[in-house]
Structures are given as structure tokens and as C-alpha cells.
Amino acid sequence: MTFMNMNKIKTIALSIAGMALALSCSESIDVPLVDEGGYKTLENNLAFITDKYGCSNVDSLVFNENGTIDFYVNLTQAPKANEDYTLVYDAKVLEGYNKTKGTAIEAMPEALVTIDGTATVAAGATKSSKVAVKYTTASELKENGVYAIPLKVKGASQTSKEKGEFILFVRDISKMPNCHKDNGLQVISCMEVNDANPLHNLCYTLKESKKYVFDQVILFSGNINYNAEIGEVYNYNNENVQHLLDYKEKYLKPLQEKGMKVILGILGNHDRSGVANLSKEGAIKFAQELKAVVEAYELDGVFFDDEYSSYGSYPGFVTPSVEAASRLCYECKRIMPDKLVEVYVYGRTSSLTTIDGHKPGEYIDYALQDYGRYGDLSPYYEDLSPKGMIQGSSEFGQGRIISLNTARSIKTDGYGGTMVFGLTPRNGYVTRLNNITRAFYGEETVLTGSYAKDW
């Protein structure tokens, strides 16, 4: 697999006087990055809108029956006295956008939108109190349709100009079926989230049943790290992974609402710690921390990949071994029996052993084969059901693709499914996914849009 880089990415874009840029599931448009520190005090104080994620141009949301998102009015310079502003639904904002961009995006009917609250900017501040924009679905909305909620700020102050505009894009998936297919074959998306938006997994459906193609999304990847000051390992998540966790209601909940399991990957991070060198006590403590993370962010399990650790002979660690990797998996399942525990068939997780009388099939749910690998894993994971064996994984970024015949064999041989790594909106993957979906479900894959990374 590909190790995540640690570049910090921060997307904050300024939209004033109708210069909003769109990012929706029906079209993918690059949003320029604007450093928030670059705002300058202007002669005339200008107001602009930001959402709760800090974006000041446009948001791309997936919603089911209804949704709410908080907005704020921001000023380029602090007022000397309290100032009140209101957000209004303004169809002219979208008309201007469509004219400028040559698009024909439909507005969500105003009757389905409610705006609650007044945006008050306190004296000496530049950000207002929140205003809730609520929306709901209705029968007249198109299945899987993308709609725009055009917003504009109006100010009661005589000293500030009301220039802020915001187009909120939403996608109605309430009428779409879930991802559960009748035969239970799994298509797992192991997504490098430094490069991609997990919501993009919602853009691949089956042609006839309209079921979603993907059944699981692994966030690749969180890390196991060593804290030298306290001499303990801990879960570290870089800016990209942590952003998705912090805003789980935007990026992860829509997947789960359609039946997809969201799994946190755990990978070595070039220090002395790894998934295969913890003592029994260390494994118990780390499992407890992972349980806290999984519960806090309402995730569905963990996935262990034994790569990128700088193993050696260090105090407090055991010699890297299959036994140590097995212990960590066992302790996670023991403390999280209702969550999925999965491993990559690689390194010291390429086989597991009996722990405290429990065979691997009792404490792991899925073993994911390395790229192109195929075969019975029962000699390496005793008592693991064939349904827990994920075969013939693909690396889409490198063009290492499962064949139609291999996918057919997975179904015929009674295995659990396959894994795809490196899914992004930058390339057309329908043909590649067709090798899987035609064999597994007798249906073609349909691409219903694109979600680019928007943070």
C-alpha cells in the first residue's frame, strides 16, 4: 500500500460579490486555496459567509430526510458596536452563478428551506453568532439529484456593505437504496484520504438495482505512534484523517446511512512502534485507546496493516512477531466484540495464531489479500470462514486491476469479496469496477457524479 504523506492542507476560500465557486456531486470544480491570514482591512467593511467547516465559498453535502448546517457572517474589520445581519434565500445568486459558469443547476425549492436566527457580530469581533439553515426532502426532488441553496447576507448596519453570497450544494440520496446486496459479497474501498473524499464512494451504483457498489470504506490511514516522553504508544491521525473524524456528520455519516461500514486503518509511522511488537500489556492499552476512538467517532471497526514501522530492539517492546500482532487483534475484538477487526495479508499480519484459546477466525472478521493474490487463507487464519477472505485486491492508482475471471472465481469459490485501493475522482473507474460488479451481481457500474477533496 501507499504510505500517507503528512502535508497539512487547509482550504479556506473567500467569496464576495457573487464570486462563489461550486463543488458538487454532479461536477467537480477545483476550488483555489486562499490563506485566511491574507484578509486585509478594507476601506469599506465587507461581510462574507462561512459555514461551520470554515468554508466561505460553497459546501457539498449529502443528506437524507433532512439536514441542518450552521452559518456565520464574518466582517473584514471589527465593528465598534454590535451589528445584526440576516441570511436570506436569494434565487438571483444562483441565476448569476449559472450564467457565469454556463451551468443549469436547479435551486432547491425555497419552501423546503428554513433559516433560523439572526447573525449578531459583537463589538470588537469579526464573526457572528450562528444561523441555522435547515432543509428537507420532498417527493418532487429527483432521485440522487443535486440542488443548490442560494444564500445572501443582508446587514442592518449602515457602515457595512452586504456583499456576501454562498451557494450550498446538497444531494438528495433519500430515495436511493442502501449498499446491501442479496449475496453478501463485499466490495471494500481502502481509500487514501490524503488524496480523496470518502463521499466519492457514494458515486458508484449498480445499474438496475441502484444499490451502492461499495460495502466498506477504510480510512487509510490512522497510525500507531510512540510517545517517547511517556513511553507509550498512541493513535495518531494526520490532518486529513482527523478532519474526516471531526466532521464525521458530513463525510462519514452519509456512508453509514446507506449501510457502508466505515473502518479506521492503523498503520506504522516510521518509529519504533507497530502493530506487531506490543507486549500483552501494551496491546491491551492500545486496544482500549482504539475503542475510545472508535466509539467517539462512531466508527465500525479497525483495520491493521503491518507496514512502515522501524522495528528494532527497544525497551518496552517485544520482538516483532505474528504472536504480538495476533494479541493486538484479539484484544481489540475482546474489548469491541460488536466492531469489525480486519487485517491486511502482509507482513506479520499475513497469518495469525491462537490467543488465549481463541483461534483467529474468532477474533478477526476479514483478511484482505495483497494485490492480485488469491487462495485459501485457512492455513494462515484458522477457523476464518471463506466469507471472511477478501481476494484479488486491486490498486487502481497503479492500474493493477482484478480481472473479470478472477472476480467470477471469488463468487464461485464462496469467498467474501474483493478490495479496491486508491479510488479517486480523477480517473474513470467504471470499466474497472465492471469487472467486479458484473461478476458479483450481474450488473454494470454507473458513475453518478464526483466528489473531490474539499478541505
Residues marked as catalytic:
307
How far is it, in rounded angstroms, from Cα 154 to Cα 83?
Answer: 11
Q: Is there a contact between 134 and 67 (Cβ–Cβ < 8 Å)? A: yes
Lookup: cell for 390: 477478501
> 146-177 burial by CB neighbour count: b if 16+ within 10 A, else e?
bbbbbbbbebebeebbbbbbbbbbbbbbbebe
Rounded alpha-carbon distances, angstroms, from residue 180 to 192, 226, 429: 24, 39, 21
The CA dihedral of 213, 217, 218, 222, to the nearest 10 degrees, is 150
Closest CA to 47 of 70, 69, 73: 73
Both ends of the chain: CA-CA distance in Å? 23
Beta strands in 283-396 (DSSP E): 301-305, 340-344, 366-368, 389-390, 394-395
How far is it, in rounded angstroms, from Cα 215 to Cα 19?
Answer: 38
Q: Is there a contact between 410 and 436 (Cβ–Cβ < 8 Å)? A: no
Residues whose CB falls within 8 Å of the CB of residue 348, separated by 6 or more in sequence, listed in order: 275, 276, 306, 320, 321, 322, 324, 325
* DSSP code for 199: G
How far is it, in rounded angstroms, from Cα 292 to Cα 286?
Answer: 10
Q: Environment class of residue 337 by beta-carbon count within 10 Å: exposed (0-12), middle (13-18) or buried (19+)?
A: exposed
